[in-house]
A and B are shown apart, each in its own frame.
Chain A
């Protein structure tokens, strides 16, 4: 509750690298160190990427390819809200008969917050609801890609030279460790992923990197140096006298969110794909155990672990009854409806007899049954509450059903006393077995 009301009234002191005082709702507890941890004493690691509007989880490799952007969702270039797709009916000529017009659906993007629409920048309505929207191409992409390749190659060459120098000093049978410096050089131009890629015929071990990979063609990538121009486009003549159309001028934030184009006019603001967010996992710095690991897909959480169910048994007869529960075996012909496994208590349960006067008798002796607290939750006159463990087997939409057998003893007091030669045998108890099916309700998603 500290997060809702007066969060700073109660503060806990965390002994970490720094002494931090904060409320309990912002702290974590490491079970292995048995200590409180705050956000500053744990290491944050990226766990997975997801889109904040469509909640789609993306594996990290795919996220890197798509530049950490969602494929389906767009951001408003004006207010950075999420864009929604709207449909209108427009009359369009039928493909068969150009003279007749039929109503066709046309889709456009609109922002619910600032009322920006894709029509404002001249983007035509699309005929498909999703997937039709393209971001405009950056005219400099080719040059940038070429530059990146060139520098990656340069970095690799530098790394090889350093490794060669290092290896020359070491004995040949000692494994070559990546020095911190080489890693830094490699990471400088984003070569990280390329190193992990398996090139055919050349395994990425440091020793093999010495022989200059003759099996593979080291393409010499030449780039043209950037050329400095002498002439610059002159400013238009009315640059100083033209009145400013303020709504058309983009703000710095709007401009910098589109680093490719950085348009100065609002009519060139195109929507960009939505940025992905990360789920982070927290790791205790002292014991390296995970403190908090996010769920991969929160919309599909099943009860895959077992859960306890409390059942109540009431004894209607006035004598003590012994009850044993047995789970159904595999291939039991009566067990057709169960969708979950059940683990019933193995011990026998004893129920006291029904005693109508017991409710009114305050001085009655408490019943002395040795109850296992793991099995028996409570006991009240002729009632008993006990636990069973349920493990759902399938994640289906129907109810969770378990079945088991109850075996109990029964004395038929109403039967006529058989005249027999046995002397005064008390009524025999017979053991009855019933097949019970219990419907526990739907699985909570």
Chain B
């Protein structure tokens, strides 16, 4: 039999209540929490480790969430521990953004075409502005807004509101126009070849 990769699951573990369109690409060991909406053409790729996405997230079209190998490590190197990428609740990944950050907290907004590097850690209430590239090695403090072509920063006094209205609307409307991926209830056993 073929050698199994360290990432066990092949099918994504989509909780009941999540709305994941069939046209989205989900590869590897991905767990998606309830009330999360994944638009068509969104890509969630767990290459170098599993991705765990919490509830109430909104992942829009052409967003790319990828848990990739660090640049200097070949994919076939042995002894590399798979790192889990954790994404909290109520985050918004707008159209076309790229996120490789390993740890994202709650209530963050990553605006269109933003680019988060591998070494950034977002806490809560952060807003990464459109087209901003953040690839520093740091923990972004809470309620930070990164905006502008020079990635200026400021702190806002209140965190961005969770997009409950939008989520409810999408959960009603998307199934009318798209097929959904099957949801799996509870923990599932890894599928063996």
Contact = CB atoms under 8 A, between A and B. Distances in A.
Interface of A: 78-79, 113-117, 119-120, 247, 266
Interface string B142-172: 0011011000111111101000000000000
B157 A114 contact: no
B157 A119 contact: yes
B44 to A, nearest CB: 27
Contacts of B127: 115
Interface in B39-69: none
Nearest to B144: A247
A120 B157 contact: yes
A115 B157 contact: no
Contact of A116 (B144, B148, B156): B156
A266 B147 contact: no
B156 A113 contact: no
A113 B146 CA distance: 10
Contacts of A78: 154
B148 A79 contact: yes
A119 B156 CA distance: 10
B123 to A, nearest CB: 14
B147 A113 contact: yes
Interface of B: 127, 129, 144-145, 147-148, 152-158, 160
Given A113-B147, A114-B147, A115-B145, A247 B157 contact: no
A266 B148 CA distance: 17
B134 to A, nearest CB: 15
24 contacts: A79-B147, A79-B148, A79-B152, A113-B147, A114-B129, A114-B145, A114-B147, A114-B152, A114-B154, A115-B127, A115-B147, A115-B156, A115-B160, A117-B156, A117-B157, A117-B158, A119-B157, A119-B158, A120-B156, A120-B157, A247-B153, A247-B154, A247-B155, A266-B154
A190 to B, nearest CB: 37
Given A79-B147, A79-B148, A116 B158 contact: no
B181 to A, nearest CB: 33
Contacts of B148: 79, 113-114
A371 B56 CA distance: 75
Contacts of A116: 154, 156
Nearest to B141: A247
B188 to A, nearest CB: 40
Contacts of B160: 115
Nearest to A246: B153
Nearest to B154: A247
Contacts of A79: 147-148, 152
Nearest to B127: A115
A90 to B, nearest CB: 14
Which 5 residue pairs are nearest across A and B when measured between Cβ atoms?
A247-B155, A114-B147, A115-B145, A120-B157, A247-B154
B110 to A, nearest CB: 13
Contacts of B153: 247
Given A113-B147, A119-B158, 7 more contacts: A78-B154, A79-B152, A114-B147, A114-B152, A115-B145, A116-B154, A117-B156
A115 B148 CA distance: 11
Nearest to B147: A114
B163 to A, nearest CB: 15
A8 to B, nearest CB: 25
A247 B140 CA distance: 13
Contacts of B156: 115-117, 120
A116 to B, nearest CB: 7
B115 to A, nearest CB: 18
Q: Which of B127, B145, B148 has the most CB of A within 10 A?
A: B145
Nearest to A115: B145
Contacts of A120: 156-157
A116 B160 CA distance: 11
Contacts of A113: 129, 147-148
A117 to B, nearest CB: 8
A247 to B, nearest CB: 4
A119 B127 CA distance: 18
A293 to B, nearest CB: 36
A116 B155 CA distance: 9
A79 B149 CA distance: 11
A19 to B, nearest CB: 37
Q: Which of A113, A120, A247 has the most CB of B within 10 A?
A: A247
Contacts of B154: 78, 114, 116, 247, 266
A113 B160 CA distance: 13
A393 to B, nearest CB: 49
Q: Which of A79, A115, A117, A120 has the most CB of B within 10 A?
A: A115
A115 B147 CA distance: 9
A78 B153 CA distance: 10
Contacts of A247: 144, 153-155
A50 to B, nearest CB: 27
Nearest to A111: B147
A79 B146 CA distance: 12
A79 B147 CA distance: 9
Contacts of A114: 129, 145, 147-148, 152, 154
Nearest to B157: A120
Contacts of A115: 127, 145, 147, 156, 160
A291 B5 CA distance: 74
Nearest to B156: A115
A114 B148 CA distance: 8
Contacts of B155: 247
Contacts of A117: 156-158
Contacts of B147: 79, 113-115
A113 B156 CA distance: 12
B25 to A, nearest CB: 31
A87 B157 CA distance: 18
